Amino acid sequence: RIKDVRGRQVWDSRGWPTVEVEVTLDTGAVGRGIAPAGASRGAHEAVELRDGGALLGGKGVRTALAGIERDIAPALVGLPVSDQARIDRTLIDLDGTPNRSRLGGNAVVATSMAALNAAAADAGLPLWRHLAEGRPVRLPLPQIQIFGGGAHAGRRIDIQDLMVIATGAGSFGQALEMTAEVYHSAGRIMAGRGLLQGVADEGGWWPAFDTNEEALDTLVRAIEGAGLVPGEDVCIALDIAASEFGRNGRYRLGLEGVEYDSDGLCAVLLDWLDRYPIVSIEDPLAEDDEAGLVAFTRAAGTRVQIVGDDYLVTDARRVEAAAAKGACNAVLLKPNQAGTITETQDALAAAKAAGFNTIVSARSGETEDAIIVHLSTGWNAGQLKVGSFARSERMAKWNEAIRVESAGLPFFGRSALQRPTRST
Ligand code: PGA
Ligand code: ZN
């Protein structure tokens, strides 16, 4: 049973405050969780509670911590930690808003994560094993960023994430080795052109490019420069994050200085799918452009994975609705978008029922917390998106996955990109 719930302010990878929660059980077992923070957020996600005002850019979390002490701790003390659904239901009811705005999505998700970790600690199991409950599970196929962009790089280029997927890798460890080669190859190319300007928010190289296509061309060259075959050993995954530059069916690509309608942007993306070895594309159209997402999925959904992030916001109902309309064929799962672990798991179940692929994902603001590695493995989600291959808030996840792999787990590999058949 839960004996104590405590919150504290810790710091994220961008140097802003965030919420850590520690749950202690009467057995002495302890679990912690730290809320991550997005920068290119969906309009429908759970919202963070920030203090506002002049201090720390208004991003203080004192109000969120006060809510943990005043409301959350008294409500959770005494509950059985093994009943995650009841803990999360209690948090949702206590908050009482549709988007966690009273207690804060940051306080709620950190508490939900801490309780889950405490339950695993109490069972004496690594979290992935606790979640797998004896079912066979495999390590996820990783999507790893090489160049950052969009809201994570001062909007230097429009595309937010230029990532690779090591489709030729036979193990998780090998996928990381191949990605490391590509990452450093890309760094050498940028240095050789005199364009090495550090890294973006998630550790990808700074996108010092004049056009979006120059970034794509450089990524292909980086794969070749690593001695790997684009389209065979290593493929490309993009997060367009189109909600960041598009609204009401109008899209302004700042780099090219052109404005497209929904069909026009679709045409640009379809042309890229023809010319580059792209196997996955996230938020190709804006979150409010459902007709565009349906049209794009109709045009490209049998060829590539089309991932809803801002559009689906880890919400089971939205996933079901999208599947019914034929928008997207995969969902990004971010626990802090949903608000709790149980709601994240509901979104995963809805995705699997709809025949959608699932990708557990980090946020652009992260910490050493590596829970997403355990969620993606223990839930057998198939794929994992963490950001790039630099900065320790990212490497903490990759290194944790290596520890999990040491338990002898098999690897999804490229089979994770094949869509499951609909079960409903
Ligand atoms: P965010 O972006 O964490 O800044 O919202 C990540 C993503 O769009 O996948
Ligand atoms: Zn995204």
Three-class DSSP category at 102: coil
Name the packing angle between helices 105-123 and 84-95 (round to 10°): 160
What's the chain's Rg over C-alpha atoms? 21
334 lines ligand 1 (CB under 6 A): no
pLDDT at position 109, please?
98
Cα–Cα distance for residue pair 306/294, rounded to 1 Å: 10
| CB contact at 8 A, 73 and 65 | no
Nearest ligand 1 atom to the CA of 364 is 3
pLDDT in tens, 183-241: 999 999 999 999 999 999 999 999 999 999 999 999 999 999 999 999 999 999 999 99
Three-class DSSP category at 108: helix
Q: Rounded to the nearest whole angstrom, what is the distance from the C-alpha of residue 15 to the centroid of ligand 1?
A: 17
241 lines ligand 1 (CB under 6 A): yes
Given a cut of 60, is residue 423 above it in pLDDT? no
Cα–Cα distance for residue pair 284/227, rounded to 1 Å: 30
pLDDT at position 424, please?
42
Q: Is 311 exposed, middle or buried (0-12, 13-18, 19+ CB in 10 A)?
A: buried
Type of residue at 303: R
pLDDT at position 419, please?
78
Q: Mean pLDDT over residues 147-176, rounded? A: 97
pLDDT at position 256, please?
84
User: What is the ipTM, given to two decimal places?
Assistant: 0.99
**Is 334 considered catalytic here?**
yes
Q: Residue positions in the annotated binding site for (2R)-2-phosphoglycerate? A: 160, 334, 363-364, 385
Pairing of strands 382-388, 357-361: parallel
Exposure of 257 in the CB half-sphere (CA atoms within 13 A): 1
Q: Rounded to the nearest whole angstrom, what is the distance from the C-alpha of residue 129 to the centroid of ligand 2?
A: 28
pLDDT at position 421, please?
62
Nearest ligand 1 atom to the CA of 361 is 9
| Alpha helices by DSSP H, 172-331 | 172-192, 212-225, 262-275, 290-300, 316-325
Nearest ligand 1 atom to the CA of 42 is 5
pLDDT in tens, 317-352: 999 999 999 999 999 999 999 999 999 999 999 999
Cα–Cα distance for residue pair 139/412, rounded to 1 Å: 6
Q: Residue positions in the annotated binding site? A: 160, 239, 282, 309, 334, 363-364, 385
Both structure tokens of 195: 């364009």
Given a cut of 70, is residue 83 above it in pLDDT? yes
| CB contact at 8 A, 180 and 188 | no
pLDDT in tens, 373-386: 999 999 999 999 99
| Alpha helices by DSSP H, 172-261 | 172-192, 212-225
